Structure 1
Amino acid sequence: MSTVSITAVNFVLAPQYNYVDSYKDTFENTSVERGLDSLFSLELMGLTEEETFSDFERKKVKEFQNSVVIENQCYYVKLPWWEDKIGKVPSNYSVALAVLNRVFNKLEKENKYREYLDVFLEQEREGIVERIVVTREEYEKYVWIPHRPVYKTEEQSTTKVRPVFNCSSKPKGGISINEAAYPGVNLMGNLLQLLLHFRSNDIMRTVIHKMNAPKENFYVDNLIKTGNVPENLVQLYTNVVKRLEEGHFDLRSCSSNREELRHKIEKDGRMPQHHSQYEKVLGYNYDTKSDSLSLAKTDSDSGANTKRRILAAVAAHFDPLSLCVPVTIRGRIFISELWKAGLGWAETVTSTQQKSWQSLSKDFFSAQFLHLSKKVPVRGLYSKPGFIL
């Protein structure tokens, strides 16, 4: 049975929950069935309950905010911990060493070790990571963070390989760094709200000063702002660059559907360094010149013959706006039918089910080539809105 990678199943293997998942450290990241609920979740459609924060949560957030300082153009923060747990995290040296050996042997076999090593050497040169000196006798006194490489194949990706760190690593009977860390409250912007705002002709309300942008304009580290006033977008771009430079962050990927702003971004050397005609906008492909949206290109896996592989293929088509719902809803219905049939995750589907999936996978493949206008007229405004991302 082939291994299902995290990039293949997209949102199902890495969902952004609005609640604490107490089982996340129990199951492997490659456990597709763990993310099954997100495929049918109301959160995926933007239907969530209004969040309320306790006094304790507000206190922890305030403590974290107060710990942020800028020194020598670098940000320094104090990580929030559960005080009664952090001192009990044991050394996981033997576990980390086993992971290291496994990753090293695989990279050597695939002739990718040097490529992966260069990532860390580059980060060291840029001051992102630093070396520490630890004698062999002290190995068991430290907590180590195992890591492995993840490869990106999208054209828009300028970093094709990057390390992913596993802070859930722990020896048997111990607790991990993740368990000792205070997870904080959910400050994630509403993905559906941001996408709808992105498609609207809403005029920019105010010029953002020093990147103090409203929460609804951010999703993790992605800032997307629409507006019909090009001058405001240029000012926003200038403020963003200035604000990031204060923290020694070099803005390298910025774009717009406004020709005048794209020209300034390109002159500054901050246009995305890839050869694709599309930009990635919250999971969708966006063509800045035609002002159109399409689904991100994924492998429809027409040869999938188990429930696990079919689920991975269905979930790979990320479409929170339901632009292609006539196709994607059929995928969810098909998964439901496989579930009702009582098939195991690795069990081969019947020939009839296989033919149904092959037909459906063709529609999934074709859906990727549908281009829909980004613009959605709102309140009588029909001019093409400019935006910056």
Structure 2
Amino acid sequence: MSNVEAQTPALQQTMLTQNDMDTWDRYWSIESSGTNEYTGPEKDEKRMLDEKISRRFKETVVKKPDGYYVRLPWKENFNTLPQNKEMATARLRSLLKQYPPEQLAEIVNTFREQLHQGIIEEIPRTNRLSTRGRTIHYLSYHVVYTPEKRTTPKRIVFDASAHPKGRPALNDVLHQGPLMLPNICGVLMRFRIGTIATIADIEKAFLQVRLHEGDRDATRFLWVRDLTQPPSENNLVVYRFTRVTFGLNSSPFLLAATIHFHLESSPFNSTIAEQLKDNLYVDNLVMTAESREEAMKQYRETKEIFNSLEMNMREFTSSDETVRNHFDEKDRSSSLQVKVLGIGWKANTDTLTIKCTIRSVKKITKRNVLHINASIFDPLGWLTPLTIRSKVFFQSLWNKGYNWDQPLREEDAEQWKKLCDSIAGFQKELPRKLVKKYSEQNLFKFTDASTMATACVYIGNNGVQQLLIAKTKLPSIKGAHTIPKLEMNALTIGARLARTTYTELKKIVTISNIYLFTDSEITLNWVKNKETAKEKGVLVSNRVKEIYNIAKALIKESESNSVTSIQGKTQQIAPPEASLQKNSNITSGGKVRNSFDLRKIGGHWKRKSSL
């Protein structure tokens, strides 16, 4: 073995910092979106807890003339939460030393403005020790500067995960709450369906949800009266939030639950209410329409709904100039080049920009390679032909036993530099619109495997297909798999992606046929002959079973949504690089050699259906 210290992945994982883990968690949540294993209904325990949290929210939420008031979703161990004042004071002392006077003055102005708006309130010294049975906790915070963001170049971010050693953080004693956000990949796919696109966002969304007076002391934080003096007890100012703040793990749930509660309990147009539920991601609204009249109506009804919520929906822009001019000037975005959930969009040309930016690092280590991989935002997998090589390289570092912060050997470092050079700077514009809303379309899933599993989805009809989404998965480093088994994994990913894509698009597109393609005769035979698959081991048997379960679920769901067939076939597939290296689309690819039929599985259906 080389002089590189060998460690198992499990041992090396413990050397990751919390920031590393957060970065990697965010990356994999998007990377695996749409391809998670299909397991049917949620586990009963999680479902029951989510129902309990939702029920508690509905029992305690109160609507007043100035907006909605909510309670924090406390866990049973909330009484173990420390006050955390010492840590908050230490972090404040560090912040005061870190920033120059002009930036500290900006923080003063922010707090002064929030105090004036009633977002925060000061706790007099005489009341700071009076608990009245309430939970007291002091939050730490830091400042994030993002000059490229026109509306929020500076954000004060509160850290509800900070805690003394051996004691819980505020986030540890709060339920995160059920996930009520739509799938980000689904929102982006729907953004590409429709002739006219419109986006907007809620101004300071979390701060528009009022916090019940009984929970406010858990969101205290510190500042100083005199910036020239240290944060002594006499110089400290204690504030607390009157609103839900970003940084609490339950904030996304509380915001989404409040909006959903308002939509469900008020007599709004059911169509626009459903569109808002499906296409509002945290505070970002993404909508499409087939006519100017429809787009203008969406704008008017959306403004009415959020005005009644005491929330300001703003920064509207549209791909249609007439629609843009219809927006009130105070609601209209001044920029036509914006980000839509992280993807660049030029509204005036209605084009999306995909690009690959690689930051340079002086020291090439496994940790830095991980961060660079995770920093490439590609939720729909359009950059897969480029980024797959960097993922394979990162996996190879595990096999070579590198420590997290150990510099790579010269030959590995040189290989990484060449990879970065081949990826960095890539940029391509593509039309936002794929097909019209409410049109009849087919879905084509292509799967393939060599050293990794790949699946991509095209949408189209009448001989014209457009790339919608692509996903990849590297094989485990724990053991070797044969190519047919990797093909089986790829086909399963394709089936999972088929269900996800159909579920996300079924309300706005009529899916007539769902085709699943593989170039592996062996894999196809395993799926066609379930008994034979059982003889090939647990992996093959489980994958075949999952594909059948997905097929049955799709068939059952499609009976009320006009899907006429779900088919699987073998076919020669063009290499995925074609979509980036050439200005062409992958369509039929070759002659169909075989197909299999699942019409007889699980009972009788009204429509002829096959996979």
| TM-score bracket for this pair, using the shorter chain length | 0.7 to 0.9
Q: CA deviation at 1:114?
A: 1.4
Q: Aligned match of 1:85 in 77, 82, 87?
A: 77
Letter paired with 2:193: S
For the residue of structure 1 that corresponds to 2:157, the secondary structure is: strand
Output one character per residue of 1:212-257: Cα deviation in whole Å (capped at 9) or x when no partner: 5364323222221212122122111111112222232222322111
Q: CA deviation at 1:188?
A: 2.2
* Counterparts in 2 of 1:136 and 1:66: CA distance versus 1, 3 Å: closer
* Counterparts in 2 of 1:215 and 1:46: CA distance versus 1, 3 Å: farther
Letter paired with 2:331: R
CA contact (8 A) 1:116 1:162 kept: no
The aligned residue for residue 330 of structure 2 is: 269
For the residue of structure 1 that corresponds to 2:314, the secondary structure is: coil
The aligned residue for residue 167 of structure 2 is: 174
The aligned residue for residue 8 of structure 2 is: none
Q: Aligned match of 1:349 in 376, 386, 408?
A: 408
- Are residue 101 (structure 1) and residue 163 (structure 2) matched? no
Letter paired with 1:171: P
Output one character per residue of 1:239-298: Cα deviation in whole Å (capped at 9) or x when no partner: 111222223222232211121111122x43222355xx5211122111112221123674
Higher relative contact order (CA 8 A, sep 6+): 1
The aligned residue for residue 223 of structure 2 is: none
Matches within 5 A, 1:75-224: 75-82=68-75, 84-108=76-100, 112-135=103-126, 138=129, 142-153=136-147, 155-201=148-194, 211-213=273-275, 215-224=277-286
Q: Distance in 2 between matches of 1:134 and 1:221?
A: 36
- Are residue 242 (structure 1) and residue 304 (structure 2) matched? yes
Number of residue equivalences:
348
Letter paired with 2:87: V
Letter paired with 1:301: S
CA contact (8 A) 2:30 2:379 kept: no
* Counterparts in 2 of 1:209 and 1:192: CA distance versus 1, 3 Å: closer
Letter paired with 1:86: F
CA contact (8 A) 1:119 1:162 kept: no
For the residue of structure 1 that corresponds to 2:318, the secondary structure is: coil
Letter paired with 1:67: T
The aligned residue for residue 221 of structure 2 is: none
For the residue of structure 2 that corresponds to 1:253, the secondary structure is: strand
Letter paired with 2:35: L
Output one character per residue of 1:57-93: Cα deviation in whole Å (capped at 9) or x when no partner: 21320220343333233221122212x3223322111
Q: CA deviation at 1:106?
A: 0.8
Q: CA deviation at 1:177?
A: 1.9
Q: Distance in 2 between matches of 1:345 and 1:117?
A: 40
Q: Distance in 2 between matches of 1:283 and 1:356?
A: 29
Percent pairwise identity: 26
Letter paired with 2:108: L
Q: Aligned match of 2:360 in 293, 297, 301?
A: 301
TM-score, normalising length: structure 2:
0.52
* Counterparts in 2 of 1:183 and 1:33: CA distance versus 1, 3 Å: closer
Which runs of 5 or more residues in structure 1 are unaligned? 1-25, 383-389
For the residue of structure 2 that corresponds to 1:349, the secondary structure is: coil
Q: Distance in 1 between matches of 2:61 and 2:141?
A: 27
The aligned residue for residue 372 of structure 1 is: 430
CA contact (8 A) 1:294 1:371 kept: yes
- Are residue 55 (structure 1) and residue 116 (structure 2) matched? no
- Are residue 318 (structure 1) and residue 380 (structure 2) matched? no
* Counterparts in 2 of 1:362 and 1:271: CA distance versus 1, 3 Å: farther
Q: Distance in 2 between matches of 1:59 and 1:75?
A: 20
CA contact (8 A) 1:90 1:174 kept: yes
Letter paired with 1:270: D
Q: Distance in 1 between matches of 2:169 and 2:124?
A: 23
CA contact (8 A) 1:210 1:243 kept: no
Matches within 5 A, 1:55-74: 55-74=48-67
Structure with the higher fraction of residues in strand conformation: 2
The aligned residue for residue 511 of structure 2 is: none
For the residue of structure 2 that corresponds to 1:335, the secondary structure is: helix
Q: CA deviation at 1:318?
A: 0.5
Higher alpha-carbon deviation: 179-188 or 133-142: 133-142
Q: Distance in 2 between matches of 1:97 and 1:27?
A: 27
Letter paired with 1:213: Q
The aligned residue for residue 8 of structure 1 is: none
* Counterparts in 2 of 1:112 and 1:214: CA distance versus 1, 3 Å: closer
TM-score, normalising length: structure 1:
0.79
Q: Distance in 2 between matches of 1:69 and 1:296?
A: 45
For the residue of structure 1 that corresponds to 2:331, the secondary structure is: coil
CA contact (8 A) 1:278 1:286 kept: yes
For the aligned residue pairs, the C-alpha RMSD in angstroms reads 3.2
Higher alpha-carbon deviation: 344-353 or 93-102: 344-353
Q: CA deviation at 1:196?
A: 1.4
Q: Distance in 1 between matches of 2:356 and 2:394?
A: 21
Which runs of 5 or more residues in structure 2 are unaligned? 1-14, 198-267, 442-460, 465-611
Q: CA deviation at 1:38?
A: 5.5
Q: Aligned match of 1:292 in 342, 351, 356?
A: 351
* Counterparts in 2 of 1:107 and 1:302: CA distance versus 1, 3 Å: closer
Q: Distance in 1 between matches of 2:164 and 2:409?
A: 42
CA contact (8 A) 2:196 2:318 kept: no
For the residue of structure 1 that corresponds to 2:339, the secondary structure is: strand
CA contact (8 A) 1:302 1:357 kept: no
Higher alpha-carbon deviation: 321-330 or 334-343: 334-343
Q: CA deviation at 1:311?
A: 2.1
Letter paired with 2:288: T
Q: Distance in 2 between matches of 1:268 and 1:316?
A: 35
CA contact (8 A) 1:303 1:358 kept: no
For the residue of structure 1 that corresponds to 2:32, the secondary structure is: helix
The structure with the largest alpha-carbon Rg is: 2
Q: Distance in 1 between matches of 2:111 and 2:18?
A: 23
* Counterparts in 2 of 1:271 and 1:363: CA distance versus 1, 3 Å: farther
Letter paired with 1:87: N
Letter paired with 1:169: A
Output one character per residue of 1:176-212: Cα deviation in whole Å (capped at 9) or x when no partner: 22122122112221122221111123899x9666745
* Counterparts in 2 of 1:319 and 1:254: CA distance versus 1, 3 Å: same
Q: Distance in 2 between matches of 1:239 and 1:66?
A: 28
For the residue of structure 2 that corresponds to 1:130, the secondary structure is: strand
Q: Distance in 1 between matches of 2:401 and 2:288?
A: 47
Q: Distance in 2 between matches of 1:358 and 1:241?
A: 50
Q: Distance in 2 between matches of 1:187 and 1:100?
A: 34
